[in-house]
Amino acid sequence: MICSFYTPDEYYGGHARELKAQLDSIGVGYELLEIQKREGEDWADVTRRKIGFIREICQKHPDKMVFWIDVDCRITQLPAYISNTTADIIGFQRSFGSPLQIGYHNRTRFWEPSFWGVNATPQGRKLIEDAYELEQRAEIKATDDYFLEEAWRANSRVMTFQMIPGTAIVRDRKVSEPGQHDSFFVFGSSGNVADFKDKVVQHGTGKQIGSRKKLLKQAKKIEKALPDSIKKPLRRLADGAGITGILTAGKAKSIDPERSKLIGEMLGGGIKGDGLLFANARESFDKKYIATFGEQSIMTAAESFLSYAAKESPNTIRLAWWSKPFPGNFGDWLSPLIVSNFTDAKVVLQSPVRPTSKKHLIALGSIGRFIKSSSVVLGTGISTDDLELNRKAQYVSVRGPITARVLRQSGGPEVTAFGDPGLALSRIIPVERGNTNGKVAFIRHFSHTSIPMQLPEKMEELSVLLSRQNDIAEFVGKLVQYDSVVTSAMHVMITCQSYGIPCALVTFEGSEENVHGSGIKYEDYALGAGVEVMNPQVVPLDLRIVDLDNLIRDISVSEVKKDEVISHIHTALELMSKK
């Protein structure tokens, strides 16, 4: 039995109607109650009433497991491992963390209050009763999760509990892990939690919010309020000086320093082309540890870096590309693959967000905002025109005329050479399309991997999370075997147009904003490649009800354009060889 309540205002009332319709569609029992805000009550007071409401539902359904869900959250299904659990209590860890983050030194409270359930067991029901008794007698200003936490602390020693994996949440830009359960929970937030954070009693850990996170939040707020005349040059200066990279860089967390050190040495060895450092660290790691999905992803990326940076050559080319998320995104890692194919030089990573005065190549990807004065630009594009481009760089080509226009408006040179370097892929990996397999390949942008999709019978999913040259070659070899491709990843579409594979470019209802940018990159690419413009078509999460034939386009880039792009690559490499 799933329960929730709501006030009849526009926000919560509207969400209640949507939640009711969704629970009806998946056939789950529920009780949703409309309540009135009493005189003098605020949001915190209303949430406190959840405890008594949940108690009433438990008493009304003594033999059923009772779940609470915030009315602005959603579930796409109720998986069997949750609905059939024997645990006294089940839910997400606070802040939707993983088991490696369990502990009150990490979180003020144990459970995430937006979705949790108590079983029809004596221990489960006692937790609810204890929370209710405290709520009735307490004179403090507190929300429902305070009383839940207190009851949990009082009863946890004798309770069985089950954590729902954090990977079960449908998150923007989250990468799915192999073997994980399907994502089913969509988190909603009215903003009231932040508004009342300092006005209600909280459990404490002494842990402070990182200064980097605070600065990033403040910087975004300030930038949003600025006029374009100030915002654009300020953003360009921040990107060029490396401030953006500092504020957005993730901070590694580990409960085992030696383990982290070995992973760091493998990655460092790969990036620097130090094969011995990588091999020694890998050997030491394998003797002691089992790699997690995240660690294996880093190790795979390290191998990929090493394959380019450890080439036998006295010459080195610094190349800027997005290397993350590890193990790597197919589209981004086409950049070193393509560049390396036309040179014997070592290719090493120049982080796009780090400052440098050293000459470097910046090529495939929507990373034009990170062009620096020392950049040699080869087919680079932008994802939004709300920015300024560096006018001092050496421009060989850009992705298309929209990028060229923004460059010109930024005071830069007139560039008329267009074409995404990804168009050269069919020349580098020359596989032919023979008889196809009668199936459709489904390939998501990495930011869409957690979306719960329903696929037709003759559709097979392939992943873009790869970076090793052999893996990319194998991926392309599979791609040409399909009748057609449905993708939300632009460089998969570009690959299809390079090989002449019919393709549909899509995005998904409710997740249209997952891929960064305003959408101009699709037109920019097409105009630069001399092909029909394909913008992403919004489709529902159930592709079984979609007429894919109406979305698929058979578009091929001309051999002349491929020759042109390859000539741009040679020109850029000649510029890189000059001192």
Per-domain residue ranges of the chain: 2-195, 211-247, 253-306, 430-557
pLDDT at 164: 95
Residue located via tokens 């094969």:
275
State the average pLDDT over residues 263-283. 97
Question: Chain-centre distance of CA 67, in angstroms?
Answer: 28
Please give the angle made by the CA atoms of 356, 357 and 363, to the nearest 5 degrees: 70
Poorest-pLDDT segment among 16-20, 279-283, 500-504, 575-579: 575-579
Query: What percent of the chain shows pLDDT beyond 70?
Result: 88
Under the banding of pLDDT at 50, 70 and 90, the label for residue 362 is very high
Between CA 210 and CA 160 the distance in angstroms is 34
pLDDT digits over 169-193, tens only? 887 666 777 777 888 998 886 545 4
Any long-range contacts for 288-297 (C-beta under 8 Å, 24+ apart)? 289/259, 289/262, 293/177, 293/178, 294/326, 295/259, 295/263, 296/327, 297/325, 297/326, 297/327, 297/465
Between CA 381 and CA 147 the distance in angstroms is 52
Under the banding of pLDDT at 50, 70 and 90, the label for residue 243 is low
Under the banding of pLDDT at 50, 70 and 90, the label for residue 24 is very high
Poorest-pLDDT segment among 42-51, 410-419, 498-507: 42-51
Poorest-pLDDT segment among 64-68, 379-383, 389-393, 515-519: 515-519
State the average pLDDT over residues 44-66. 95
pLDDT at 209: 44
Whole-number mean pLDDT of the chain? 89
Between CA 241 and CA 408 the distance in angstroms is 22
pLDDT at 208: 45
Poorest-pLDDT segment among 241-250, 357-366, 477-486: 241-250
For residues 141 and 481, the model is more confident at: 481
Poorest-pLDDT segment among 192-201, 264-273, 411-420: 192-201
pLDDT at 16: 95
Please check the confidence at residue 254 and state whether its pLDDT lies above 60.
Answer: no
pLDDT at 456: 95
Q: In one letter, which amino acid is 64?
A: K
Pick the CATH number of 2-195 from 3.30.70.2190, 3.90.550.10, 2.40.340.10, 3.20.20.80: 3.90.550.10
Under the banding of pLDDT at 50, 70 and 90, the label for residue 211 is low
pLDDT at 196: 41
| Strand residues in 144-227 grouped as ranges (E) | 161-163, 185-186
> What's the alpha-carbon Rg for the chain, to the nearest Å?
27
CB 391 within 8 A of CB 372: no
What is the domain class of 430-557 according to CATH?
Answer: alpha beta
Please check the confidence at residue 213 and state whether its pLDDT lies above 70.
Answer: no
pLDDT at 206: 43
State the average pLDDT over residues 91-106. 83
pLDDT at 231: 55
For residues 171 and 463, the model is more confident at: 463
In which order are the strands placed within the sheet that holds 161-163? 30-34, 2-6, 66-69, 111-118, 89-93, 161-163
Residue located via tokens 């981004």:
332
Between CA 72 and CA 76 the distance in angstroms is 13
pLDDT at 233: 62
Under the banding of pLDDT at 50, 70 and 90, the label for residue 121 is very high
Poorest-pLDDT segment among 113-122, 130-139, 288-297, 533-542: 288-297
Between CA 527 and CA 541 the distance in angstroms is 30
For residues 206 and 459, the model is more confident at: 459
State the average pLDDT over residues 354-369. 96
For residues 562 and 514, the model is more confident at: 562
DSSP code for 164: P
pLDDT at 452: 87
Residues 543, 513, 423, 415, CA torsion sign:
positive
pLDDT at 314: 95
Please check the confidence at residue 425 and state whether its pLDDT lies above 70.
Answer: yes
Q: In one letter, which amino acid is 280?
A: N
For residues 309 and 243, the model is more confident at: 309
Please check the confidence at residue 277 and state whether its pLDDT lies above 60.
Answer: yes
pLDDT digits over 135-168, tens only? 999 888 889 989 999 999 989 999 999 999 988 9
Q: How far apart are the first and last CA of the chain?
A: 71
pLDDT digits over 518-567, tens only? 899 999 999 999 999 999 999 999 999 999 999 999 999 999 999 999 99
Please check the confidence at residue 218 and state whether its pLDDT lies above 80.
Answer: no
pLDDT digits over 443-455, tens only? 999 999 888 899 9
Could you check whether the bond before residue 456 is cis, i.e. omega within 30 degrees of 0?
no
